[in-house]
Amino acid sequence: MSRRPFIAGNWKMNKGPRDADALAVELKRLLADHAAADVAVAPPFVSLPAVIARLQHSGVAVAGQDLHPEVSGAFTGAVSGEMLAQAGCRYVIVGHSERRSLFGDTDATVAAKLRAAYRAGLLPILCVGETLAQRDAGQAQDIVAGQLATALAGLPLDQVLQLTIAYEPVWAIGTGRTASPAQAQEMHAGIRAWLSARYPREVPATVRLQYGGSVTASNAAGLLSQPDIDGALVGGASLTAESFRDIVAAAG
Ligand code: PGA
């Protein structure tokens, strides 16, 4: 079974409503025929309405960058999955390493957020990845397996089948230091093997595995040509319409 490539742009804390709308205008124009891949962008919360309105009928979906596990309540500053869904998001990023390292998300928090995403009817993009110290200590596979085990524990099969997993080695995020295609493929094959060992065959055959960490228009083709790399989660290079378009083009 062949998996449809999936390219997502994570705008992080960039692009307020006006700048986000301008970027969305460009994306709508440049991605008018991107039929070979699924494409999504994740603007900051305040820019969601502008981007969602602009990208209507463009085929480019919109994602939240994070969500709170609860539906509503006294959680100052937080946004729930239900709110993202009501705003018109289709996807949500869960467990990004910046949320883990800068905002204290633990594996348990990530698991709760993953369940909250499904409860809200959103499609989660679950981020996993090891730090440089963990890689140097030979623990990369174990760390990622542990993150997957906690996040996916008890998740029903129909939800696992809808998951996208983004492997984002922490040492490659925003550093300009990409994992080589061989390094990324090795981890992606490991993740698929992890899924194969625990779920029916349709799961490893269906679940899309994105690579993230300093993906650019020039290194995307090498990464995306690997058999177990089904897409990319792109940070910096998604802030320019042309480079994001080139990455999408490399996928199809
Ligand atoms: P980067 O970010 O492409 O700027 O390295 C990727 C990510 O954090 O998703």
What is the model's pLDDT at position 169? Answer: 95
- 101 pLDDT band, cuts 50/70/90, is very high
What is the model's pLDDT at position 149? Answer: 98
What is the model's pLDDT at position 33? Answer: 81
Which atom of ligand 1 is nearest to 176's Cα? 5
- Residues with a catalytic annotation lie at 96, 168
What are 129-135's contacts with CB under 8 Å, separation 24+? 129/97, 129/167, 129/168, 129/169, 129/170, 129/173, 129/212, 129/213, 130/169, 130/170, 131/170, 131/171, 132/170, 132/171, 135/169, 135/171
Q: Which of 128, 175, 233 to mutate to test the pocket of ligand 1 (most atoms within 8 A of CB)?
A: 233
What pTM was computed for the model?
Answer: 0.97
- 203 pLDDT band, cuts 50/70/90, is very high
Q: How high does pLDDT run on average in the chain?
A: 96
- 103 pLDDT band, cuts 50/70/90, is very high
Cα 166 to ligand 1 centroid, rounded to whole Å: 11
What is the model's pLDDT at position 139? Answer: 97
Which atom of ligand 1 is nearest to 98's Cα? 8
Per-residue pLDDT reduced to its tens digit, 24-54: 999 999 998 877 899 999 999 999 999 999 9
Ligand 1 close to Cβ of residue 236 (< 6 A): yes
Ligand 1 close to Cβ of residue 99 (< 6 A): no
The stretch 123-136 carries a mean pLDDT of 96
Tell me what percent of the residues of the chain surpass a pLDDT of 70. Answer: 100
Q: Residue 219 in 3-state DSSP? A: coil
**Beta carbons of 164 and 208 less than 8 angstroms apart:** yes
Q: Which of 215, 238, 246 to mutate to test the pocket of ligand 1 (most atoms within 8 A of CB)?
A: 215
The stretch 189-210 carries a mean pLDDT of 98
Q: Is the pLDDT confidence value at 1 over 80?
A: no
What is the model's pLDDT at position 2? Answer: 80
Per-residue pLDDT reduced to its tens digit, 67-100: 999 999 999 999 999 999 999 999 999 999 999 9
Q: Which of 230, 242, 245, 243 is nearest to 2 (CA)?
A: 230
Which atom of ligand 1 is nearest to 97's Cα? 8
What is the model's pLDDT at position 177? Answer: 85
**C-alpha distances out from residue 135 to 92, 140, 179, 210, Å:** 27, 5, 12, 19
Instruction: Please name each of the domains of the chain with its CATH number.
Output: 6-251 (3.20.20.70)
Q: Is the pLDDT confidence value at 175 over 90?
A: no
Ligand 1 close to Cβ of residue 129 (< 6 A): no
- 174 pLDDT band, cuts 50/70/90, is confident
